[in-house]
Amino acid sequence: MDEKVNPERNINQQDDLEVVDELIQRIRESRLFICILGGTRHGSPIRVGVDSSSVSFFEVELFQAALLQKSVYLFVRDDFNPKPPLKKLLDILDFYLPEWISRKPMNDTKIMDQVRRLVDRDRLTSPFQAIRHLYKPIRRLVQGLHTIRGRKTENRGVRFLEEEFEQRTGQPNRNIIENVLNLVKVQPNEEKRLSRIWIGVRELMASPYTTSLDMEPLQYWNKLLGEWSKAGAWYGLHADTPLGCLAALNSVADIRCNLERQYGTKLQGHETAYPGGPLASARYSIAKRLYIAGDRKKLFNEALYDLKRAMNGPEPNEAGLIAIRGSIYRQLGAITEAVSDYEKVLNLRQAKDPKAADTGEAMSELGFAYLRQRHFRKGLDYCREGVELLRQGVRPGFLARGLRKLAVAYLCNGKLIKAYEAKREAEAVAMKHGAFDQL
């Protein structure tokens, strides 16, 4: 608990979001996550500015463990009698918590005995942690989730938090949501972005997007879940999970459909447009991690359909959509078509601003595609120039990805030391900014 770890911290003067940042970092670094449910309360609320949010520190810890897919060792104390807010939180995260409601209550002595056994067992196995770390069956995990969840609703797909909401009286605190959106704009760390967006999402649960007909809450849901998908993409939330990018974007598509139906004449096109580009990117990120060929091809084709639909919609981001299409072609082995798309993207972005970071991204992707055509020197030149432009970008994940591709380009040209240096820099950028997808 923060007040135990940092007794010198003045609770009345602390920045609660700084405490949140420390808590989520400690959970990421931990090997065991032990949760003891006791008492009745939801926990101490997190303050955003001068307002107390609907989220507690305990909730953020559970949320972070769920994001990291940590195994939870759950114990229920014999005095546990949750009040409605705590019970609803546990219900919302039911897809993650191991059947808390069926756990046999235990007294403190028995719980501590069980915890000691867990810790002792971890001590015995810790010398083998490094070996286990080398084996990360991420493709097996993503394929399993896609098989179980991705097909279960007959083309409807997974939705954010499985559309579980905490029913509350009153309206969401507008100040908290605006503060969250402003904080997210200037926060360079993806992990911290997600924790702040979560606070905004929980505040909005007073107006669920599945039932609310009011324009302002629907607009807030649209913005927050859109930001969730962007941060989640760099964080690595690529699977058919209720906290994943695809789930958030499926919900965004529903929300925009409602906005178009109710308030289409009052809103700008981008607020109601089908999120084809982001959806295609999310499907692409899942598809390339699947190992069943039929599932991969089907998901890539769905992504191509999303792109086509977005291209025919209002205010399409032509360069961005073509760039995603090029990446899909590259994964499908259609390298000539991929190179053609990447060249179109580069021409579009250079015409707009030849020194911009997104021009650097286009150069990096094109250079990486040239490597697949065995134009090694040409690929290296483009990757290297692209990284220099990416260094001035505001989203560090793009730089980490560009550096990874540059490392491969150096390797293809026999420059082993430079390849190692680029790889190490990519890892450092990704770790510093919580862009764990790039590790």
- Per-residue pLDDT of 52-81, as tens digits, reads 998 888 888 888 888 887 878 889 999 888
185 has pLDDT over 80: yes
Question: Which one is predicted more confidently, 37 or 136?
Answer: 37
Given a cut of 90, whether residue 255 has pLDDT beyond it is yes
Q: What is the pLDDT of residues 132-178, one digit of tens each?
A: 444 455 666 677 777 766 555 445 689 999 898 887 778 899 999 99
Residue 171 belongs to some domain of the structure: no
Same domain, 49 and 147: no
Is the per-residue pLDDT at 51 higher than 50? yes
Instruction: Report if residue 401 sits inside a domain.
Output: yes
For residue 229, pLDDT over 60 is answered with yes
Of 26 and 300, the structure prediction assigns the larger pLDDT to: 300
Q: How far is CA 375 from CA 345, 370, 381, 383, in A?
A: 19, 5, 10, 12
Average pLDDT over residues 225-250: 95
Average pLDDT for residues 36-60, to the nearest whole number?
A: 86
Q: How many domains does the chain have?
A: 3
**Which of the residue ranges 127-131, 259-263, 336-340 would you say has the lowest mean pLDDT?**
127-131
Listed as own residue / partner, the contacts of 44-50 with beta carbons closer than 8 Å and 24 or more positions apart are: 46/16, 46/17, 46/19, 46/20, 46/199, 47/16, 48/16, 48/17, 48/176, 48/179, 48/180, 48/183, 48/199, 49/175, 49/176, 49/179
Which residue type is seen at 139?
A: R
What is the per-residue pLDDT for 135?
A: 45
| Same-domain check for residues 27 and 94 | yes
Q: Which of 143-147, 200-204, 220-224, 425-429 has the weakest average pLDDT?
A: 143-147
Q: What does the pLDDT read at residue 316?
A: 92
- Tell whether 121 is covered by a domain: yes
Per-residue model confidence (pLDDT) at position 70: 82
Domain co-membership, 400 together with 255: no
Whether residue 188 is contained in a domain is answered as no
11 and 142 both lie in a single domain: no
Q: Is residue 175 part of a domain?
A: no
- 144 plus 277 within the same structural domain: yes
Q: Are residues 105 and 4 in the same domain?
A: yes
Hey, what are 168's tokens? 């509350």
How far, in Å, CA of 315 to CA of 273, rounded? Answer: 8
Q: Please tell me whether residues 1 and 96 are part of one structural domain.
A: yes
User: Quick one: 295 and 339 in the same domain?
Assistant: no
299 and 350 housed in the same domain? no
367 shares a domain with 312:
no
Domain boundary among 255, 287, 316: 316
Question: Does residue 363 lie in a domain region?
Answer: yes
154: left (phi over 0), alpha (psi -120 to 50) or beta: left
Domain coverage including residue 430: 331-439
Average pLDDT of the residues in 326-343: 97
Tell me: do 147 and 129 sit in the same domain: no
161 lies in the same domain as 295: yes
3-class DSSP assignment, residue 197? helix
Backbone Cα Rg of the chain: 23
- For residue 386, the domain's CATH number is 1.25.40.10
Write down which residue in 316, 344, 378 finishes a domain.
316
- Domain for residue 198, yes or no? no
The helix (H) or strand (E) run that includes residue 36 is strand 33-37
Rounded distance, CA 387 to CA 398, Å? Answer: 9
Within a domain: 126 = yes
| Residue type at 389 in one-letter notation | L
